[in-house]
Amino acid sequence: MNPSQEATDTARMLRGLEHGDPSVRLRAALAAGTTPDRQFIDKLVERCAVEPEFYVREMLTWALTRHPGALTLPGLVEELRSGTAQARSQALHTLSKIGDRRAWPAITRALLTDADDEVARSAWRAAVVLVPDGDEPALAEVLATQLGRGGRETQLSLSRALIALGEVITPILRAAARDADPGVRQHAIATERLLDDPDAGFEFALDEAKRVVALGENDRKR
């Protein structure tokens, strides 16, 4: 391909990422990942922050994973400081897919406790992928501060992240099972049940935990 044609194709692909038709944006992201080029990286990262369609965002992430981590990490890490929740969330999601531990210092406590549930969930998933060997207990301590947070999906995400850290979470969960907040106690007990029996299912484990906490409350009132 001559340079002129290559430049034309690159310009067409970059315009395609901003097209009004999501199917065109999807094809453009696919093309960017199929033939990686450092010229695409900034635009791919930029689109992750604003792309409204989930399946297109997933293709943008895939396209970024097809480029060298040394080139993609700086832009993605910069996005973690964005004031836009989607920018932070999608950058975290992409970092978890890349799996390059050089990004670990950017996974801050502020992100792990972000007020936006989607950002926090993405941070939990990224953290358990990127955490260096030996730092699991410290990460588990931070994640445990989020026990009892949000609805079922958020709680399940946190339980999965904690369980991915392995046995280091057991003493932390047992301490949380004595927390003054019944929601924290329920979530901690349910997570430990899942750690012991991964096939139990989160709904079952949480319902069992609620019964345990309710019985404990009744015993205290007697």
Above 90 in pLDDT, residue 24?
A: yes
Return the domain boundaries, the chain.
135-222
Could you tell me what percent of the chain has a pLDDT over 90? 81
Above 80 in pLDDT, residue 208?
A: no
Predicted pLDDT at 2:
58
Q: What is the pLDDT of residues 38-84, one digit of tens each?
A: 999 999 999 999 999 999 999 999 999 999 999 999 999 999 999 99
Q: What is the pLDDT of residues 111-168, one digit of tens each?
A: 999 999 999 999 999 999 999 999 999 999 999 999 999 999 999 999 999 999 999 9
Above 90 in pLDDT, residue 210?
A: no
Above 60 in pLDDT, residue 222?
A: no
Residues 6+ apart with CB under 8 A from 107: 92, 95, 123, 126, 127, 130
Predicted pLDDT at 202:
64
Q: Lowest-pLDDT range, 9-13, 84-88, 92-96, 109-113?
A: 9-13
Predicted pLDDT at 218:
46
Q: Which residue has the higher pLDDT, 23 or 199?
A: 23
Q: Which pTM was predicted?
A: 0.89
Structure token digits, residue 66: 């097809």
3-state SS of 51-118 is CCCHHHHHHHHHHHHCCCHHHHHHHHHHHCCCCCHHHHHHHHHHHHHHCCHHHHHHCCHHHHCCCCHH
The Cα 96–Cα 8 span in angstroms is 33
The Cα 205–Cα 188 span in angstroms is 10
Q: Are 143 and 112 in contact (CB under 8 A)?
A: yes
Q: Which residue has the higher pLDDT, 139 or 210?
A: 139
